[in-house]
Amino acid sequence: MGISCDKEDTMDEPFIEGKFQGLAKYVITATPIGTSGIADVLLTTDSLGGGTITTAGNGMEQDGSYRYYLTHKGRFFSLLYGQGNPGAVTTYRFTTSGKMVKTTEFQTETVQVFVKVNDELLLIKVPRSGNEVASTYRIDAMKSRIVGRGNINIVQLAANGERAHFTWATQVGEKVYAPYMSIKGCCSDAFGTAYPDSSWVAVFSYPDLKLEKVIRDNRTSYLGAYFTDGLGVTEEGDVYGFSQAAATNGGKVITTRPSAIVRILKGTTEFDQNYFFNVQDISGGHHIASQAYLGHHQFLLMMYEDARAVKGNLKMALADVEKKTFTWITGAPAAITSTSATYNNNTTSEDGKTGYIGLNTANGSWVYKIDIATATATRGLTVNGGKITAITKVEY
């Protein structure tokens, strides 16, 4: 079970508790090259627009093999993926002088889903085999401690002989929407399925996390992917779902549905049958890899570079989900091997005109600025000595 701290995090250097100074720092996490036992190094910067930053002799080391990150209530959370073992959650804050400091650490089980809901973090441990129960943890973001636990029977949720494996979760109004894939969870093919041509979104109340409904559709495959957020919420409160169309059985892609975007209108708990955006068709056969919302109905799409592929190198596009337009982004490097995590993307400009993303190639890693109006990418900050895993804007 999780172990929590009883005290709210404090440090000798002053914080302005409950208030923001109107300041912000960017935290860039990068996996250093040629090291072991270090998941990432935390680097901080005031700007992403240019210059160079390095992992060599710099930043705050994060132990383990994998770490995942998000920010909430002026805190920066670093979550250790313990690969079956308990995972530490380390909290950092910025002092009034802009110094990043570790404030507290506690443990939960290793989780596969983590999302901001109201003033809390919701963490979900989703077993891929064996145990039929997903464990939930509610974390008070201000105090960095567990304030609630629960269980969800994922075999009962799937109700088809397989198990529901949550790809992510998103706050929608006062509810939590959790899309899931149906997986066998056995037979040396844990992520295989006999149901490749359907989408599901479980709707939970909050904070009690009682299942209220499962929203279903069969025009595309499951939404999101393992550790990949498949939902985006617009300013109007409409929800858009993104499918890679990558469901497999025996290691082979078997879905007959296209990679596409679907919609749930605000105030409804059904897929909008009048809306279907076939991205695979409009892109010339390419599948969506991941998405990040940039505002004003514009989504940054990471697309698999090769048509019909569901793995490999990436390239970028913009999708206007209201107008159903798709535009390839120019100016980015060729053969993008990976990007900064899109699930915690919060680096869009306040005027909604630009966004930033970390791009890794065999030749280096950079932050790129995306001009939304022109669908162009421009190189910004260079990150030396490591592969960018996340870029997070922390307001304090």
| Residues 58-96: tens digit of each pLDDT | 999 998 888 999 999 999 999 998 666 677 899 999 988
Does residue 155 sit in helix, strand or coil? helix
Checking if the pLDDT of 321 tops 70, the result is yes
Give the largest Cα separation in the chain, rounded. Answer: 59
**In which element (H, E) is residue 282 found?**
helix 279-282
To the nearest 10°, the Cα dihedral for 5, 7, 13, 17? 120
Q: What is the rounded CA–CA span in Å between residue 225 and residue 180?
A: 8
Q: What is the pLDDT of residues 256-307, one digit of tens each?
A: 999 999 999 999 999 999 999 999 999 999 999 999 999 999 999 999 999 9
The tokens for 265 are: 């209108």
What is the CB neighbour count within 10 angstroms for residue 123? 26
Checking if the pLDDT of 2 tops 70, the result is no
Residue that has been written with the tokens 């337009």 in this structure? 325
Domain 114-284 carries which CATH code? 2.130.10.10
Beta carbons of 375 and 389 less than 8 angstroms apart: no
Q: What is the mean pLDDT of residues 18-37?
A: 84
DSSP string, 352-377: SSEEEEEEEETTEEEEEEEETTTTEE
The tokens for 393 are: 């804007």
Q: What's the whole-model pTM score?
A: 0.93
Q: What's the pLDDT score for residue 193?
A: 98
